[in-house]
Structure 1
């Protein structure tokens, strides 16, 4: 068994040398197939084999997947190549110590070597598809509506896109009939270790935003809140307590407090605390205790946090095909930009499939589940106004025709060919 598992830990999958004649039933039938349903079945067969320690069958499935996967092929082939990598990483976890060392160092290498973007490259990254711009547009519209009549606004920005959301808001505030408010933005000193990563400091981002606000005659402050960093990939309670400390936030009675959560809640582990309340729910309780004027929550609309590997693979396949398919509509197969963006999605797949415990930081919940959490934390949803809907529709017209928007209960949802991809919600304490 150890010899078989060691063979699976080889980092280059094209070294698998299982003869085609040894394949059986579903494996032989799917050899070379680009059908998404067939690929999903193969991935589930592999997950089942790994969970039952059947290394021989797992290796056979990986050999078939390797004959389908291609990082420069059709969307299904490109997606499969990242799933194959994730399964190899996962397999390495059950190998002897040498394989474990390879596995750990390889993942840390990937994380440390994630590409650092310039501000211009980050802007291009955000503009490539409406994955982020949809949330920016919906959130900014809700924020503008909520702070009408307020002369001072404080935004606690919990997001992963390095302030790219705020120039559009600053521009909108500059055009208010009653004049712009004084705007203060606070960001934490720590962020999830995920793309996009920037090659300039937070202070440089602050400087650029301040200059932009000055050019629009918007009074502006930017504050980086130095809080205790997480000791591992997950955000711990100590970090949250320091993050949401009213004293550190310098809350002021004459300011309208806005809390902006963009692709953030998923990185909070949901393990229960001593009082059986999960960390994610405690975080929302703490947010509510700050009595914000509005809370906006935006994230990807999928359930990727199941304890079952098979369930996570199914959810991943049925969700993460969307960006791979979208890129196919307007970027050449050998486009460096396309490969870089796909790599960011691929690293997410590696984490969701390849890891368990605190090392699995991608713990995305669907919009439906997030909405339920917000209601249980005593928040009430507020609708997106028609002006905001028009702005979102206008922004989507700049992209491929497959993108759309719909209302779904309390959510505004970005769709690709009718499939949910990103949700946006707005809330007030109740």
Structure 2
């Protein structure tokens, strides 16, 4: 029964009952109707782009016709293309409700039901494919190398995965030949309102980490920092549902809140985080964005290492058609990877794909400050880091071996390559996640 409820919670909107799909067949050519159910990825992408173009041109009639075709292809229980199409179709309907409100009975609000996971469920979620573990492994290897010889370490952690990275590092530090350093981890209380969601507080996560560190004889402190003294522009940083995200206020008061200590090695860890900081310059200092301000601020803290990990795709274009092209040709990767080892009706698979659907909905359905997914490629991020005055650090061979060993635990389609300043996780040769390491350098360009 629980599985059935979860599957129903992620079923697409019943399009056949929507006014958006009233009698579109009469407007479709017989040739187009004849290919229903047999469209490959390239054809689906073309249909998505036709629909996007129609919406950008306020052509509700054409948008309805294309959506009808997509609705006959989409299936959450189908092959990866059909499952991916389901989530793109949902996002397009959401957008259509804003562009052509009289053409649809969909109210435009997110209908993707996201539940909070237990810590055990989150661990299984992270282990499903190496999407997150790749970044954890590469980052921990770089951090372990950077803090050699230090007896006190302070990690400022910006991440969406609720500190799931740190048990592995704690375990490695416990085995350090010269003995473990004392470890202090500081996390912000503000977090983007995106999956995965956890059913315990950040403070509870810190207690669990502390218990594990005690078990491994690693001296440990955990602190959650918060600053809600400013009502500033939090609604401009995240989407409308994220009024609790006070990151700009926090950034303005970060240094005194951190309790920096001269005898500690400071590490800044950014895992799938920068994409949620606005890169728009409206209303800010010329040629500056919150993302740039953040990088300059953390560089000014003079850390011994800055690690940045994120998904390797550019989804920040203003054009809807450009975003659809990039998004469709990138997010097929997790759908295809999950197909290799999970059955079509797997509750775990449906839940993971639902979280990707949440991302697709934000990328496609929203514009302006309501669109919080502003991912940039690893190459663009590297240039941004250099512009902020940082120098890249190469990953050592031991870290590379550890990452390769991790990938051996997963399907054979996963691989890794070096690309300029980055280590890159690949699926069937396609870039999926990048990892980079940096140190403060000279003056900005």
Query: Structure 1 length as normaliser, TM-score?
Result: 0.93
SS at match of 1:387: helix
Instruction: Out of 113-122 and 240-249, give the one that drifted further.
Output: 240-249
**1:12 Cα offset (Å):** 2.6
Whether contact under 8 Å (1:313, 1:353) holds in the other structure is yes
Distance 1:97 1:14, change over 3 A: closer
> Structure 2 residue aligned with 1:83, among 85, 88, 92?
88
The residue that corresponds to 1:156 in the other structure is: 156
Pair 1:290–1:255, CA change in 2 (3 A): same
**3-state SS of paired residue (1:326):** helix
Per-residue CA deviations over 1:56-105 (Å, capped at 9, x if unaligned) read 111000000001000100100000000000000001112449979922xx
Aligned residues: 416
Deviation at 1:245, TM superposition (A): 1.7
Aligned partners of 2:55 and 2:99 also within 8 Å: no
* Residue 352 (structure 2) aligns with: 341
Tell me: CA distance 1:201–1:377, structure 2 relative to 1, closer, same or farther (3 Å). Answer: same
Measure the CA separation in 2 of the matches of 1:414 and 1:386.
16
How far apart in 2 are the matches of 1:14 and 1:234? 36
How far did residue 24 of structure 1 move? 3.4
Q: 1:333 to 1:101 in 2, by over 3 A?
A: closer
Distance in 1 of aligned mates of 2:201 and 2:177: 35
Q: Give the distance between the partners of 1:55 and 1:98, measured in 2 at CA.
A: 7
RMSD: 2.1
Structure 1 position 298 matched with structure 2 position 309:
yes
| Residue of structure 1 in register with 2:250 after alignment | 242
Long gaps (5+) in structure 2: 1-11
Given that 2:25 and 2:65 are in contact with CA atoms closer than 8 Å, whether structure 1 keeps it comes out as no
Q: Is the 8 A contact 1:406 1:415 kept in 2?
A: yes
Offset at residue 27 of structure 1 (A): 4.0
Would you say the 8 A contact 1:210–1:221 is kept in 2?
yes
Match of 1:231 among 229, 234, 255: 234
- Aligned residue runs from structure 1 range 158-307, under 5 A: 158-228=158-228, 231-232=234-235, 234=237, 239-243=247-251, 245-272=254-281, 273-307=284-318
Is contact 1:27-1:61 (8 Å) kept?
no
Q: Is the 1:259–1:292 contact (alpha carbons within 8 Å) kept by the matching residues of 2?
A: yes
SS at match of 1:232: helix
TM-score by length of 2: 0.90
- The separation in 2 between residues aligned to 1:26 and 1:231, in whole angstroms, is 50
1:4 maps to what in 2?
A: none
**Which residue matches 2:147?**
147
Distance 1:28 1:96 in 2: 26
CA separation in 2, counterparts of 1:43 and 1:61? 8
CA distance, structure 1, for counterparts of residue 39 and residue 359 of structure 2? 22
The match for 2:335 is 324
For residues 236 and 16 of structure 2, what CA distance do their matches in structure 1 show? 31
Partners of 1:81 and 1:36 lie apart in 2 by 13
The corresponding residue for 2:417 is 406
Contact 1:193-1:233 within 8 A present in 2 as well: no
The Cα of 1:281 is off from its aligned counterpart by 1.1
Unaligned runs of 5+ in 1: 1-9
Distance 1:360 1:174 in 2: 42
Q: Tell me how far 1:277 sits from its aligned partner.
A: 1.2
Structure 1 residues 303 and 337, CA, compared in 2 at 3 Å: closer, same or farther? same
Distance 1:274 1:387 in 2: 42
Question: CA–CA distance in 1 between the matches of 2:171 and 2:102?
Answer: 55
Provide closer, same or farther for how the CA distance between residues 114 and 233 of structure 1 changes in structure 2, counting only shifts above 3 A: farther
Whether contact under 8 Å (1:173, 1:181) holds in the other structure is yes
